[in-house]
Amino acid sequence: MRPAVAAICLAWMLAANAAAAADAEKGRLFLQERCGGCHATDATGDSPLPAAPAFRQLGERYSPETLEESLAEGIVTGHPGMPEVVATPEEIDDIVAWLNAVQAAPKP
């Protein structure tokens, strides 16, 4: 096997293992602790702050995977009161696993 092909295969296997190791429940707990004061973090229920979107509806705007870089660098918004949220690579995998698990079904 050529070295480049082997490297690509190894990278793919490592990424697959990382995704398999993601723990959606840990992601839910992370979001509940850091974001649950304003956002609904579960599959049901209203956000404590009505203007804050429920995380289960993020898929209506974009894929949860698009948050990976923002979480690694620190999510910051222009409105006051929202703290900067930074996560480790493992926490990001867990968060994305949870967000994918709770996305609302598309509206017909």
The mean predicted confidence, pLDDT, of the chain is 80
Indicate the pTM of the whole model: 0.71
Which pLDDT does position 7 carry in this prediction?
46
- DSSP letter (8 states) at residue 40: -
Q: Once rounded to an integer, what is the mean pLDDT over residues 31-52? A: 93
Per domain, the residue ranges of the chain are 23-102
Report whether 75 contacts 85 (CB < 8 A). Answer: yes
Which pLDDT does position 16 carry in this prediction?
44
- DSSP letter (8 states) at residue 37: T
Q: Once rounded to an integer, what is the mean pLDDT over residues 46-65? A: 89
| Owner of token pair 């994918």 | 100
Q: Once rounded to an integer, what is the mean pLDDT over residues 56-74? A: 84
Look up residue 58 and give its two tokens. Answer: 């993020």
pLDDT exceeds cutoff 50 at 17: no
- Name the β-bridge partners of 9: none
Which pLDDT does position 6 carry in this prediction?
47
27 phi-psi bin (left φ>0, alpha ψ -120 to 50, beta other):
alpha
Confidence of residue 21 (pLDDT cuts 50, 70, 90): low
Comparing 21 with 27, the larger pLDDT belongs to: 27
CATH says 23-102 is which class? mainly alpha
Comparing 7 with 64, the larger pLDDT belongs to: 64
